[in-house]
Amino acid sequence: MDVLRSAGVSLVPLYGFVGLNVLDARLTSWAISLGSREANPLAIGFGSSMVLKALIALCIAIVLIKVGRCHLLKPLCVGMCLIVAWNTLAVVSWM
């Protein structure tokens, strides 16, 4: 992580992106247990796996950093915030 800091890469978007993906997985598993279903056809098999979602998000973040596109993590975090907000509303409405 010191290499990232010395290169001027902020770790906040990286941690935020991974954390929001884990939160999305938790909310998805909660919604599924309440009778909902996974809406993303690409994530039907693993959408509620917090470990797998964290690993995929971490891999995406590492690739973006390696190719010099770490600035894209901020809009990805905004998108994940919207997804988490939507999932939160879905879980609350199922309760």
How high is the pLDDT of residue 21?
Answer: 93
Confidence of residue 50 (pLDDT cuts 50, 70, 90): confident
How many Cβ atoms from other residues are within 10 Å of residue 71's Cβ? 11
How high is the pLDDT of residue 33?
Answer: 82
How high is the pLDDT of residue 95?
Answer: 72
Tokens 């901020």, residue located: 74
Distance CA 66, CA 69 (A): 8
pLDDT per position as a tens digit, 2-49: 555 555 667 889 999 999 999 998 988 888 888 877 777 777 776 567
Average pLDDT over residues 52-58: 91
C-alpha distances in angstroms, 45 versus 39, 70, 72, 80? 11, 28, 26, 19
pTM of the model: 0.82
